Amino acid sequence: MMKIVICIVSILLLTSCSIHGNFEGLYSYYNITKSRIPDVLIQPDSTFQICSLVNTKQPRVYLANGSRLKECVSNHDAVVYIWKPKCASNLCYSLNALQDKCKTIHKDLFIVAECYDADMMSLTYNIDRPILGIDTRYYRSERTARYLSRFLFDLTSHYAVNGRVLYFKNGVFTQSCHSVDSLRL
């Protein structure tokens, strides 16, 4: 009798614990995105100047590491936004609205995709610069937490970066927060 009870309980536990959906946010999805939209994702060579890129009507995502982006924000007042495609939280910004906000406060905006999403990266946004994607090959990881923390350290020289909005004053990382309105300018 005890064996039957254990068997029934085991079956109920195994069938009730299933994952619905995907692992969005855990992995980069770079390879899937690259196979779906190969012309959008661009791996520039080391001499290519990502700092001077301007957005075009054609969607483009340029792969970069934190050190290359750090060169772009040097000697500038800049906001770096870590964008998570399809984020539904109230802490996530529309890229167009964020660009308008940064123009209002006279700050350069750099948008960095936390992970890759073919649908969202195929869209045209009204932003001054193209989206930058974290170069997962450079960081030798497809796991978001791993490559994102390394990217942020290369960019800010800090291990503890909380928030998706990073502020650089005269090229120096001064703060991170969850909202542009929370920045101490």
Q: Strand (E) positions, 39-77?
A: 41-42, 61-64
In angstroms, the CA 180 to CA 71 distance is: 22
**Helical (H) or strand (E) element with 83:** strand 78-83
Residue 11's pLDDT is 52
In angstroms, the CA 78 to CA 72 distance is: 9
113 in any annotated domain: yes
Q: Is 19 exposed, middle or buried (0-12, 13-18, 19+ CB in 10 A)?
A: exposed
DSSP letter for 181, please: G
Residue 75's pLDDT is 86
Query: Strand, helix or coil at 41?
Result: strand
Q: Which domain holds residue 89?
A: 59-185
In angstroms, the CA 162 to CA 165 distance is: 9
106 in any annotated domain: yes
- Residue-averaged pLDDT of the chain: 89
- Mind listing the pLDDT tens digit for each residue in 25-50? 689 999 999 999 999 999 999 899 99
Residue 181's pLDDT is 87
154 in any annotated domain: yes
151 in any annotated domain: yes
7 in any annotated domain: no
More confident residue, 13 or 166: 166
pTM of the model: 0.86
Strands 165-169 and 78-83: antiparallel
- CATH number of the domain bearing residue 95: 3.40.30
32 in any annotated domain: no
86 in any annotated domain: yes
112 in any annotated domain: yes
More confident residue, 85 or 91: 85
pLDDT exceeds 70 at position 6: no
- State the total domains in the chain: 1
